[in-house]
Amino acid sequence: MLQQHSENCSQPLLSRSKAYSTSCGGFSMGGNTFFVPSALFAENRNRLCQHLKEESKVAKNSFILLQGGDGLPIYNTDVEYNFRQEPFFQWAFGVKEPGCYGVVDVHTAKSLLFVPYMPEEYAIWMGKLPTLDTFKGMYHVDEVHYVKDIATVLKKRNPSVLLTLYGVNTDSGLPFVEAAFDGISGFNVNNEILYPVMAECRVIKSELELEVLRYVNKISSDAHIQVMRTLKHSMREYQAEAIFQNYCYMVGGCRFFAYTCICGSGQNGAILHYGHAAAPNDKLMCDGDMCLFDMGANYCGYAADITCSFPVNGKFTEDQATIYNAVLKSNQAVMKAAKPGVSWVDMHKLANRILLTELRNAGLLKGDVDEMLKAGMGAVFQPHGLGHFMGLDVHDVGGYLPGNPPRPTGPGVSKLRTARTLEKGMVITVEPGCYFIDVLLDKALADPEQAKFMVPEVIERFRNFGGVRIEDDVIITKDGVENMTKVPRTVEEIEKVMAGKVAMTPAAPLESCKV
């Protein structure tokens, strides 16, 4: 169950908007927003230390060194992007300020936080400057020092080795920025041990992490429902995005979003990463358009990733219901089959099998489904992988760590963000889709091995359809899945919600100014 407060803090949450950080140790946006206790991050540090001792047999007096993110200016101006903490640092310390370092003694799990020193005049622009003791109370670490003293503090502990993060993100292909500070050359540094162990810890979520993920999913789910209930034709796509973002921030305290919102309507629903700078959700939504809205909030660094597909006017046509139900059956089949010990590659293939079977039953395809799969027909209609790990990154780390199955080859499966066998405690998205993308349809029709399965005159009818994606965020449990996403999924449920026949979750009450 979602908990609204820390067990160690008896003060009611509604009156904790100013006092929570120093009295309870944790994060909240106040009001009825979720309280994330610092115990979550302490538990993560303990888990990491335990795995390092068990799996890597690190030398005694080894220390983990992590560097947090820095503020980033917008080009050459004195205006900064709204700061978001580096995810590995967030996982271990939960610190919202930029420019920090964290150190953990592997064998005792004692934690040291290093924060930037700010001259007194900074208080003019930043407000009252927190003391070192204030930081210690906010984040429940063992010691707090200034960044400028990091070399001196570490030398007194004479570490045998500093373990730093180094590696490449298998989703983006971008390297991690390895921690560095003035004087680090005087220490023994190992950058090979930490990353695979820490990334694996992030793959398996703790119960406290799952509570945060359930919260951000609840807020994101309710925001999607608010969009469904509010949407009207002759609105623009960005107005749907604004409805979603307003709800998440206004009700859920989610200042950030997990990724750029995808609000595709009509043909834009077939653009997998629509909403980018060159296509900023600006199309006028017309009566009869199918919408594909892929949006998720972020709270305390943790992400949700939900896609809902529905007609803008709230009433499915026969063709829209056909494609929607085909994708829904794929989603439901995976939900039923996914559990510990199951290969995620097999789940992708199952989703494709169901989709192709339904498209054949609807008259878009013909022939044997097994032969279609061998010919790569699944990737013609669903060119992306079935889903991805999710946590502090919307495409979370751990997909292709050493010792796990490598990236598979072949149409569709080569796009999978992990090929791992499912384990209890993983959080993963289930997001089958069906899209009518001209370049893929034309290529398939020109390929004799694929064209023989297609019914051109029926395919042509769907050329301007766009696409359908149904994306849920699930926890792998001991014997199945827990679906954290709570939105209407059947055609009938969607039509009832959009017609106003299902009550909306009421917004949170306004907070009293009296403490």
User: What number of other Cβ atoms are within 10 A of residue 265's Cβ?
Assistant: 26
Distance of CA 480 to the CA centre of its chain: 21
Please give the model's pTM, rounded to 2 decimal places: 0.94
Confidence of residue 381 (pLDDT cuts 50, 70, 90): very high
The tokens describing 85, both together, are 């903490």
At 499, the amino acid letter reads A
| Structure confidence by residue, pLDDT tens digits, 62-119 | 999 999 999 999 999 999 999 999 999 999 999 999 999 999 999 999 999 999 999 9
The rounded mean pLDDT for the chain is 93
Confidence of residue 12 (pLDDT cuts 50, 70, 90): very low
Distances (CA, A) of 182 to 68, 71, 152, 167, 177: 15, 19, 11, 22, 16
* 4 vs 383 pLDDT, higher one: 383
Q: What residue ranges in 436-503 does DSSP mark as E strands?
A: 467-469, 472-476, 481-483
> At which residue do the structure tokens 């939504």 appear?
285
Q: What residue ranges in 61-188 does DSSP mark as E strands?
A: 62-67, 101-105, 111-115, 143-146, 161-163
* pLDDT at residue 501 in the model: 80
| Structure confidence by residue, pLDDT tens digits, 408-444 | 999 999 999 999 999 999 999 999 999 999 999 999 9
Confidence of residue 171 (pLDDT cuts 50, 70, 90): confident
The tokens describing 461, both together, are 């009818």
Q: How far apart are CA 12 and CA 106, in angstroms?
A: 36
Confidence of residue 507 (pLDDT cuts 50, 70, 90): low
* pLDDT at residue 57 in the model: 77
Q: How far apart are CA 181 and CA 187, in angstroms?
A: 11
CA dihedral of 195, 200, 206, 211, whole degrees rounded to 10: 90
Confidence of residue 502 (pLDDT cuts 50, 70, 90): confident
Task: Tell me: pLDDT of 165 over 80.
Answer: yes
| Contact criterion met (CB below 8 Å) for 21 and 138 | yes
* pLDDT at residue 508 in the model: 60
User: What number of other Cβ atoms are within 10 A of residue 420's Cβ?
Assistant: 20
B/e letters for 38-61, b = 16+ CB within 10 Å, e = fewer, are bbbbbbbbebbbebbeeebebeee
